[in-house]
Chain A
């Protein structure tokens, strides 16, 4: 993966005035890069570190704490589907939804489809327990799901 584009650098720099130091821009910068490139590569970490005047290890230290960010070996598909497995969803069949969808698309949780369209994952509580089982498509929540409705959503992507 190549270095950060000038556009991404600019968007990261635009975050600087919001915080009293550059280190606080680590999470916003990781989000900007991760969202655009579907992973944060080693080169991108070095690029972010240069902008934030940090050591690349400091950026990597923060990034690796949050399971959310993927490195280049685990790049995401175009869309990310999270199926909630926490208590309220589990009680109403969330885990079975995840299993059926995995089987239908021949994927394990965490894998990306062969066409690169979808990454399927489990999530801890998504905070939509009144609509359990619920899923997240990128960052948009869908409630009262079943295996059929999740599959239909995936096929439409």
Chain B
């Protein structure tokens, strides 16, 4: 296969890539007036027909989401940009915002036109200080150049973008948690329905889109839906509900590899290809024991599943939750899955919002059980107990409001079913690997 030329990342290594002048010199905003003169429904159809699926984790078809808005609504309709990228292992949106903010802003302008919105709120996690400063400067440049504000470029379209900084909570990445947080409340996800497209931010129709999704929208408008569909994986004919996995995707690779990085490739590359050809192989000449396919909430691939295609359908075929954020974390063969799973459970327990009992209690107890194992007091029955707790929490068993809980349960289910030997050997050895660093954090 010929080398793939990056599109979303085409400009990130250019000097001064963040300024409006260089973005325009590279052809940015060149056709924005033309796009704003299109009928909003035509823009939506273009994105829908391109087969763009949301890049934030769930993979919901983007154009279809836009069509859920009520017709002829008097407004206001809101667009929320989800830049609360907090899934462990994920950093693609940070690079997009730090290096090419105008590609995102152009996508926001186009999306707001499609959904007839004049108000966009960009919810940015607090930790992305550099992104904040770059975006703030880029938005100011746009206002000065008439690309934002009243009567945008004389087209009669109005649009304001407000940068809103979060305060370090993972749950704000869940779309209704994000909305609650924006409204000034604790980020407790809402019971759906009503979905945000019907009743979202400030009880108005709202669309929540991820940063990378909106950057794809910009590229689809310039290059066409057929271009987008020429990349990636078409639907599986044996599954009538599979919408396919089209377009380029930013894959993050981190953990035990020689060259951790973020690369743009057509959807559907294998985990092995990412590790061997793009991340310089597993570090220290070791082999991979396990690979996280798309952020820790998606579970684990075993070393025998490295040829799994990382498209929207691939990870599900080997028991993972899905593609998630396509953040690949490699774990080498010298690392115990007990330690890795403990880290995942501790994260989820720390980040559970506490609203639903199965999640609040489940994540805490799973962390406690794993702590017991890691101080050498584990029992073999603990593994079944972990599976029982994990099996009773989440949207899939129907016991919680949002999917955080499924994301907390999945790594447990995958780790114990795919690496049971690791856990049994650990428990039987009665060894203790809880480090003094971890004890320090317990005091906290």
Contact = CB atoms under 8 A, between A and B. Distances in A.
Contact of A108 (B181, B347, B443): B443
A18 B162 contact: yes
Interface in A76-127: 82, 85-88, 90-92, 95-96, 98-99, 102, 108-110, 122-127
B129 A19 contact: no
Contacts, number: 170
A128 interface: yes
B296 interface: yes
B252 A91 contact: no
B261 A130 contact: yes
B202 A21 contact: yes
B220 interface: no
Given A21-B202, A88-B254, A125 B347 contact: yes
A91 B202 contact: no
Contacts of B185: 23, 26, 61-62
A87 B89 contact: yes
Interface residues of B, number: 64
Residue among B76, B85, B88, B170 with the highest chain A CB neighbour number at 10 A: B88
A62 B184 contact: yes
A122 B444 contact: yes
A150 B291 CA distance: 29
Interface in B167-222: 167-170, 181-187, 202
Nearest to A95: B437
A96 B437 contact: yes
A131 interface: yes
Given A87-B329, A124-B86, A127-B94, A24 B184 contact: yes
Contacts of B181: 27
A27 B184 CA distance: 6
Contact of B88 (A31, A61, A69, A124): A124
Nearest to A130: B260
Contacts of A31: 126, 165, 167
Interface of A: 18-21, 23-28, 30-31, 52, 61-62, 65-69, 82, 85-88, 90-92, 95-96, 98-99, 102, 108-110, 122-132, 136, 138-141
17 contacts: A25-B184, A27-B165, A31-B167, A52-B184, A65-B186, A86-B89, A88-B254, A99-B440, A108-B440, A122-B444, A127-B91, A127-B93, A129-B252, A129-B254, A132-B255, A132-B260, A141-B127
Q: Which 10 A-B pairs have the closest CB atoms?
A: A139-B129, A26-B184, A65-B186, A129-B254, A99-B437, A66-B167, A95-B437, A88-B254, A68-B167, A125-B88
